Amino acid sequence: MAEFDLPRSWFLIVVTWLVMMTGSYWLGVYTVNYGLDDRRIRHGRSVSLVQKVQGGPIEKSAESPPQRKQMMKVVPPPDGPWRGDNEWRNQHFKTADDIRKYINTVFKLDRDIVSFSNFEHDTEKCHKHGEPYTECRGDTPVVRQKSCAIVGSSGIVRNSSCGREIDQHDFVLRFNFAPLEEFKDDVGTKVDLVVLGTYKLHIYTNSFAPDAEDKKKKEALSVKVQGKDEILTRLRQFNNTIIFYPKPLYDLELGVASGPSLRLEDLLQILDDHQLRATMTYNLVTLKDLTVEMLQKLYPDAEAPSVGVIAYLLALTFCDQLDLYGFYPLDFDPWNRTVRFHYHDDPLPGHGLFPKPHHYNTEYEFMRELDAKGVLTYHIDKCI
Ligand SMILES: *[C@@H]1O[C@H](CO)[C@@H](O)[C@H](O)[C@H]1NC(C)=O
Ligand SMILES: *[C@@H]1O[C@H](CO)[C@@H](O)[C@H](O)[C@H]1NC(C)=O
Ligand SMILES: *[C@@H]1O[C@H](CO)[C@@H](O)[C@H](O)[C@H]1NC(C)=O
């Protein structure tokens, strides 16, 4: 009998192997078709960009996206400073003016907050050019302002009564459509620009996606969805604002648009369907790389900058006077009371996905230093 068992186990092994290979093939097909950032494979726009710019085969790059090369090498500047070298910093960034001048050499409004309506034209031009960081340009809807308030979503603004003071600024920047009406005494209602993160963009566009696709995405990536009414109530508080997506939308070296560009179009469609207006903007380069390089000189202790830091440094390039509210990265306030992560109850971008970074302490120190030098005014106290 033993002579017959051997071929039978080989047969079982071969069948098992075949089943596994077929399974992983279909899993691969599923991922390619339904992965969040791979919708470009089935849509025309970025494909045509690749064709025009590189003339290369499209499907190949779609199936195995090449690794994105580091656009800008982050190396310590040759003339210092090194971590802890405060002498160098104090010498180069003695005054608020020194610091603002330096920030203005790094950020360029007409490259870093540009209108999404010219996306194809601007990114293609930028990609073709050999020196994207110096020559990339687009149209910016942002103009110079006398006074700006930038309102983070930290629980530190709860019970602050700063709403009126915030609304008195010429230009108000906020984040992620954080609710205004229910908290207007503390955060105000005026808004001119809202910085939009990837997490919120995904929740909002998934929530309005057609059912079938929505379900698949939820299952594949367990991205949360929210009720449409809830989202619309929120979006109505942000009618006629500039929406700014600060993450890369386009790979300059590969000449490929990424999934979020289609999601921005989806969001514009959602707004349009509900009689809401917005000027969608994005950046032509990688703001995070620029900010990391900038911080190596300004504040070498700071590591990966949060979107909040990127936003207020950018705001310094067009705001004569800048007030920060609702920025508080620590768990306890100066009176040792617990500070909520958000002033509102939105789902945290977390639950294991994005743990609170450990370098938040340095962000706090950095804001205090900018305040002490008069670059901006950092508010954590009550107003009145
Ligand atoms: C705000 O003030 C109210 C009333 O004084 C108090 O009950 C509440 O706990 C405070 N909330 C926060 C987050 O400090
Ligand atoms: C948004 O603003 C536009 C232009 O001011 C206006 O026509 C539209 O009715 C507003 N939408 C809503 C829902 O209030
Ligand atoms: C602040 O509060 C925490 C717990 O709420 C406590 O462990 C800590 O000792 C307090 N710190 C000070 C300086 O009072």
**Model pLDDT for residues 215-246, shown as the tens digit of each residue:** 556 555 555 677 889 999 999 999 999 999 99
Instruction: Answer yes or no: is 268 within a domain.
Output: yes
CA of 335 to the centre of ligand 3 (A): 9
> What is the rounded average pLDDT of the residues 182-199?
96
Residue nearest to atom 1 of ligand 3 (CA): 336
Q: Which residues, at least 6 apart from 229, have a Cβ–Cβ distance to it below 8 Å? A: none
CA dihedral over 190, 195, 198, 202, signed as positive or negative: positive
Instruction: Answer yes or no: is 59 within a domain.
Output: no
Instruction: Answer yes or no: is 14 within a domain.
Output: no
**Model pLDDT for residues 58-80, shown as the tens digit of each residue:** 333 333 433 444 444 444 444 55
- Closest atom of ligand 1 to CA, residue 337: 14
294, containing H or E segment = helix 287-298
Q: What's the number of domains the chain is made of?
A: 1
**The pLDDT value given to residue 75:** 46
**The pLDDT value given to residue 224:** 65
CATH number of the CATH domain containing 292: 3.90.1480.20
Q: Which residues, at least 6 apart from 172, have a Cβ–Cβ distance to it below 8 Å? A: 148, 149, 150, 151, 166, 188, 190, 191, 192, 193
**The pLDDT value given to residue 273:** 97
Whole-number Å distance between alpha carbons of 103 and 322: 14
CA of 159 to the centre of ligand 1 (A): 6
CA of 160 to the centre of ligand 1 (A): 10
Residue that the structure tokens 């300059």 belong to: 252
Instruction: Answer yes or no: is 256 within a domain.
Output: yes
Q: Which domain holds residue 190?
A: 67-378
19 in helix, strand or coil? helix
Instruction: Answer yes or no: is 355 within a domain.
Output: yes
Cα 175-347-306 angle, rounded to 5 deg: 40
Instruction: Answer yes or no: is 90 within a domain.
Output: yes
Q: Is 337 in the pocket of ligand 3 (CB under 6 A)?
A: no
Q: Is 332 in the pocket of ligand 3 (CB under 6 A)?
A: yes
> What is the rounded average pLDDT of the residues 91-119?
94
Ligand number with the minimum distance to the CA of 273:
2
Whole-number Å distance between alpha carbons of 142 and 9: 70
Q: Is the pTM of this model over 0.85?
A: no
Residue nearest to atom 6 of ligand 1 (CA): 159
Instruction: Answer yes or no: is 61 within a domain.
Output: no
Q: Which residue has the higher pLDDT, 159 or 72?
A: 159
Instruction: Answer yes or no: is 41 within a domain.
Output: no
CA of 276 to the centre of ligand 2 (A): 5
